[in-house]
Amino acid sequence: MNTFLLGQDGNGCETDIVPIPTYAVVLSLVGGTPRSVAVPAEAKVALFSATGNFWLKAGAAPALPTGDILDGSAPELNPAGRLVSGVTSIGLVAPTACTVSIGFYG
């Protein structure tokens, strides 16, 4: 699994470019149907890209929010990336059908 490191340009300055992940998954979400995906044991970072809106929760497949969630247990909308060290699974749900790509880095 590639380590999450920013690339360097010709002058040795960091860029916003990361390496291609050696472990990636794609989930085809059906609207309103939660899904879970296992996080590889050596993964420390997950980067997300999607064709539509999705909600994410670590450790459990979230329910699609239909109103206020004020107790701190709400899922997150469209995260770009998250630290996943110690997380065993990621749950996702989307309001409409979409595809989510997750690249994992060590």
Q: What is the pLDDT of residue 79?
A: 97
Q: What is the pLDDT of residue 14?
A: 76
pLDDT, one tens digit per residue, over 27-85 is 999 999 999 999 999 999 999 999 999 999 999 989 999 999 999 999 999 999 999 99
In whole angstroms, what is the distance from residue 47 CA to residue 93 CA?
A: 16
Quickly state the pLDDT bin for 11 (edges 50, 70, 90).
confident
29-33, Cβ contacts within 8 angstroms, sequence gap of 24 or more:
29/54, 29/92, 29/93, 29/94, 29/97, 29/98, 29/99, 29/100, 30/94, 30/97, 31/94, 31/95, 31/96, 31/97, 32/64, 32/93, 32/94, 32/95, 33/93
Higher pLDDT, 80 or 9: 80
Which residue from 85, 81, 94, 83 is spatially nearest to 30, judged by alpha carbons? 94
Give the bridge partners for 27, in sequence order: 100
In whole angstroms, what is the distance from residue 71 CA to residue 92 CA?
A: 19
16-19, Cβ contacts within 8 angstroms, sequence gap of 24 or more:
18/47, 18/105, 19/105
